Amino acid sequence: FKRIQLESRSRDELYEMGETFNHMMDLLEANFEKQDQFVANASHELRTPLTVIESYASLMKRRGLQEPDIFHESIEAIHSEAVRMKDMVEQLLLLAKHNEEWTIQFERIDLGEHVRQTTKAFESAYRREIQFHQQQDGINAFSDQQKLKQLIYIILDNAKKYSEDVITVEVGQKEGVPFIQIADKGVGIPKEDLNKVFDRFYRVDKARSRKMGGTGLGLSLAKEIADAMNVRLTIDSVEGIGTTVKIVLPVGKEK
């Protein structure tokens, strides 16, 4: 830490230092505000499932023993809200860990093979039909297998939640740059919401997302993973027609 010799500075220099200091304070303040907002949002979002759990538990306590329908409805609701809450806490922990602990293990991978396996695993875990297509053999990319799988899972999970038809996954290469494209024919995203879906907790339709077990954190986590891996993530969507997510990967270490 170096002490600044104020007396030996010119007026202009002092003015410039003052400006820099003010700018840094503004940035710090904005950062604190963002963090406060995040904590407030997280508490609010965690409170919702807890309130549902609490009210169903008390309903079950009052009438569950006499009325089997109430018992089953309550236990279903409590279970699904508990699962959603667990997902939310896991995603929050991943987001919180992001800055300090994420290490990316870059390696050259056979992208087609990697995505095929990931798609297969997802398909059998969730029993959803996925059509896989690979433009050609031997498409290589420079990526982290585990993190890429995580990213693909988030996108597939959304396709599964917000569509009922077949999901298609394509691996290709354009001008030597490898990409993955995941498309669904679901509800789509309204144009005015497209640039907000990467924000933490943002959901186009809160009720629908909640019903599908959504947390509003998936895409913001996907964006953080993508940034850490030098991956470009873009979404094209038309309401009522479907959504296509494109993942463009780096060929080498550089961005």
Q: Which residues bind ligand ADP (CB under 6 A)?
A: 158-159, 161-162, 184, 186-189, 197, 202-205, 209, 214-220, 243
Q: At what angle do helices 218-228 and 68-101 cross, to 10 degrees?
A: 20
Which C-beta is closer to ligand ADP: that of 178 or that of 214?
Answer: 214
| Least Cβ distance, residue 85 to ligand ADP (angstroms) | 13
| Least Cβ distance, residue 116 to ligand ADP (angstroms) | 21
- DSSP code string of 63-101: IITT-HHHHHHHHHHHHHHHHHHHHHHHHHHHHHHHHHH
- b/e map of 218-255 (b: 16 or more CB within 10 Å)? bbbbbbbbbebbbbebebebeeeebbbbbbbbbeeeee
Which C-beta is closer to ligand ADP: that of 74 or that of 237?
Answer: 237
Q: Which two tokens stand for residue 57?
A: 């538990």
Which C-beta is closer to ligand ADP: that of 80 or that of 140?
Answer: 80
Which C-beta is closer to ligand ADP: that of 171 or that of 187?
Answer: 187
| Alpha helix (H) residue ranges in the chain | 11-59, 68-101, 111-126, 145-161, 206-211, 218-228
Pairing label, strands 167-174, 130-134: parallel
Spatial neighbors of 40 by CB under 8 A, at least 6 apart, are none
User: At 209, is the secondary structure helix, strand, or coil?
Assistant: helix
| Least Cβ distance, residue 111 to ligand ADP (angstroms) | 21
- Rounded to whole angstroms, the Cα distance separating 249 from 11 reads 50
Which C-beta is closer to ligand ADP: that of 114 or that of 223?
Answer: 223
- Rounded to whole angstroms, the Cα distance separating 199 from 34 reads 12
Which C-beta is closer to ligand ADP: that of 139 or that of 217?
Answer: 217
Query: Which of 60-64's residues contact partners 24+ apart within 8 Å by CB, and which partners?
Result: none
Which C-beta is closer to ligand ADP: that of 14 or that of 241?
Answer: 241
